Amino acid sequence: MSQIATLIGAPDAGAVTPALVETLRNAWGGGDAIWLSGGDAAEFGLEAVPDNLWAVWSELQALGVDLVVQPEEGRRKKMLLADMDSTMIQQECIDELADEAGVGAHVAAITAAAMNGELDFDGALRERVGLLRGLPESVIGDVLKTRITLMPGGPVLLATMKAHGAYAALVSGGFTAFTAAIAARLGFDENRANTLIAVGGVLTGEVGMPILGKQAKVDALEEITTHLGISEADVLAVGDGANDLGMLLRAGTGVALHAKPSVAAECDVRINHGDLTALLYVQGYARDQFSDC
């Protein structure tokens, strides 16, 4: 069978039931079900992509289950290319900084519009950073310690892929002060992001040029795969915003993780209920193959 259908639910929610898996497998004439994690994830083979895939996907969403159908060949990837904000961490760093500066609600609204593709990313970033002018640079460290939390499943995703020889790159439209810390904490091999400019320990309201936006993420995909001697088909990319779409559509597997509606609509792999361990199930890893983080 050339295709694999994977059903994934939120960890320990029990949404992926034997009855559900068997009903779908029988309806689609699939192969034997393989349980990747009891109650959380299962898969089975298919001869071809079903004509009613997205209708079934929509029905399963209502049950708290994500459904991915993809070619079986080459689904285990050699590289992870990840966004940071609202992907590897649960927050948007610039929104947290803005909250410290007393302009949190205003900046958060701009961030949401930019991530949904409603605003030009570069212009929106410059506008938001401008509102941080005068904020002590030390606030960055405070935000990292008190406001930033890892997305569930991230440490296991990194540990497992790296244990199997994969390269991991964190590429963000956010800021190096945050990506450096998150990359070190999770074990990324490299990180790329924008630079907040500070003078005398105070943010100037300016961002270093050129701005790392949508195209820069595509450039990172091209540059890193060339350096590693692998193809773009060997890459699993994950993100949630409009500035991630370029890399998501170019990578062998592009995952829209809890993504903005306009972003998810462009991607064949959409994870709305599972956490970052869903990216392991999509590659065929079973829970007992996960590495300790």
Residues designated as active site: 83, 85
Could you tell me if 16 and 9 are in contact, meaning their C-beta atoms sit under 8 angstroms apart?
A: yes
DSSP conformation class of 276: T
| Cα 276 from Cα 182, distance rounded (Å) | 15
In a 3-state reduction of DSSP, which class is residue 143?
Answer: helix
Strands of the chain (E only): list them.
3-9, 34-37, 41-46, 65-71, 79-82, 167-175, 190-194, 196-199, 202-207, 235-239, 253-257, 269-271
| Cα 15 from Cα 11, distance rounded (Å) | 9
Closest CA to 231 of 254, 252, 255: 252
Could you tell me if 135 and 178 are in contact, meaning their C-beta atoms sit under 8 angstroms apart?
A: no
**Tokens (6 digits) for 204:** 């100037």
φ, ψ dihedrals at 58, nearest 5°: -65, -40
List, in sequence order, every residue forming a beta bridge with 191; answer none if it has no partner: 170
Could you tell me if 212 and 191 are in contact, meaning their C-beta atoms sit under 8 angstroms apart?
A: no
